[in-house]
Structure 1
């Protein structure tokens, strides 16, 4: 029998929508609108994809990133509001952080981890924001060492502050964040700030104030000698991090490219019959995960299609 295809909702964007969208210029298939925000490295601009009416932006010579909304706010605000978090909540967040770090390490990425880089989604799950990071070859994580200096001094591992070669264990030093969640304070502070004095406190293990209920596990992550500091995998096996979770796995998901069978037939039909793309070009682009206008069109249309299906229910 013939495969049943759900008709794709009408995607044609009215001229009125394009005319009333406040924009300063057109770049490829997009209208570039007002500036939403700006930082040290980039500006956040509102954009409208002309073909679908979706608000996103991608061009051949620039990357415009549309990121998910983290409706739960940032972790720093959460700590400031409550002064300190309950151990059960800290355990949950730390599990998620270490699991995410393990995933990054598997892909050769060493991160700049600090409280300000942790956001919360609407389900109270941790989302890591990329600040500065460095890369290693995934198959030599335990052999190669990095030298590029990155990170904020209050959260940086001592080997970073000492300008020594470093490896993935700098991310285990994220125990600073776990300590801050549990206590509302940073473990190592110097007033007035002096980076040499800060480093010396770390090396000496001079933690400002250790409440009696701070777990030995969190303190173990603050081991100044990277050779003695546990690896991420070892930390994920510790009793404290798994308390209350039984044997629930923390293995990270591995990305795999789409196969032809994964592709939505309704979206493919719309792209070939209405937009005029060759089916072979669309399938080849999507299954090889190649950034292009075809990739943008497919995913924007797929999102629109999925929303319409949810609305129909």
Structure 2
């Protein structure tokens, strides 16, 4: 049932109401924001957005984080690394198509209950979608151990900084980072990257040759994400599943769930024409959030 029990709304511990949401207790506090628990009144789902703030209760990644998985096992099997790498490249290609450059590190990879990679957003930057291959960014973001050499050198950079996530692939395969300096010194770290002075390469070089190609210090010579997705190693054993990026087409009026539309118009008071227009133009808004939360609830 889509109807939210009144008891749920009454029993949810909250300090205030903001628009369509009840704001509950603080779950966590990070460097940039507090994470609050919020209950969406119309759907009973725990999530919250306001005009000035976003309070997000995200899906539970029951598989933990990838760093812990590597630490537990020392190094991951090639087959597993290939699976994770395929998912990461597909996700990065999707981000690039939407003009987002992430600068990935292994701490930003979580695992769901089905052992699928979920990328967590720490710091990212944006490019104009129509000039992804031409426009360069200059804002610093990311961690030095995982940052591409052009970032450490404070040079302009583009989407190929995300191909440098080969550092994470290397860590999965070997249990170590390719470039390390003790005690830490950012200039020496950059010099090691530029000269290709990798700390230790396993004797079975065939496993990491693809990954090494991603650690090309010159971004002009480094493969693009699309080129990496077409490499032989990445597609080994996946002949029937070519690596591609998920793309979501705008919904058509006939695609919309009639039960959800009825509930939104009759119980939540939205105008049918406004709901249809918002959903078919794919416009982020409270209406869009309500529709998808209700649809997920119905499908569960």
**TM-score with structure 1 setting the length:** 0.90
Is 1:134 aligned with 2:103?
no
For 2:252 and 2:197, locate their aligned partners in 1 and report how far apart those are by CA, in whole Å. 54
Match in the other structure for 2:11:
20
For 1:104 and 1:233, locate their aligned partners in 2 and report how far apart those are by CA, in whole Å. 12
Match in the other structure for 1:53:
44
Structure 1, gaps ≥5 residues long: 1-8, 308-313
1:230 pairs with 223, 232, 248, which one?
223
Do the aligned residues in 1 keep the contact of 2:170 with 2:176 (CA within 8 Å)? yes
2:257 pairs with 257, 264, 273, which one?
264
Aligned residue for 2:49, secondary structure, equals coil
Match in the other structure for 1:62:
53
Shift of residue 138, structure 1, vs aligned partner: 2.1
Match in the other structure for 2:147:
156
Do the aligned residues in 1 keep the contact of 2:138 with 2:156 (CA within 8 Å)? yes
Is 1:298 aligned with 2:291?
yes
For 1:141 and 1:22, locate their aligned partners in 2 and report how far apart those are by CA, in whole Å. 46
How many corresponding residue pairs?
298
Match in the other structure for 1:72:
63
**1:243-262 to 2 correspondences below 5 Å:** 243-262=236-255
Do the aligned residues in 1 keep the contact of 2:2 with 2:297 (CA within 8 Å)? no
Structure having the higher Rg? 1
Do the aligned residues in 1 keep the contact of 2:2 with 2:263 (CA within 8 Å)? no
Shift of residue 128, structure 1, vs aligned partner: 0.9
Structure 2, gaps ≥5 residues long: none
Shift of residue 195, structure 1, vs aligned partner: 0.2
Shift of residue 29, structure 1, vs aligned partner: 1.9
CA deviation map 1:139-168 (0-9, x unaligned): 222222211111110001111101111111
2:184 pairs with 187, 193, 205, which one?
193
20 and 112 in structure 1: CA distance in 2 versus 1, 3 angstrom threshold: same
Match in the other structure for 1:176:
167
Q: Which runs of 4+ in 1 moved over 6 A?
A: none
Deviates most, 113-122 or 259-268 = 259-268
**TM-score with structure 2 setting the length:** 0.93
Aligned residue for 1:23, secondary structure, equals coil
164 and 280 in structure 1: CA distance in 2 versus 1, 3 angstrom threshold: same
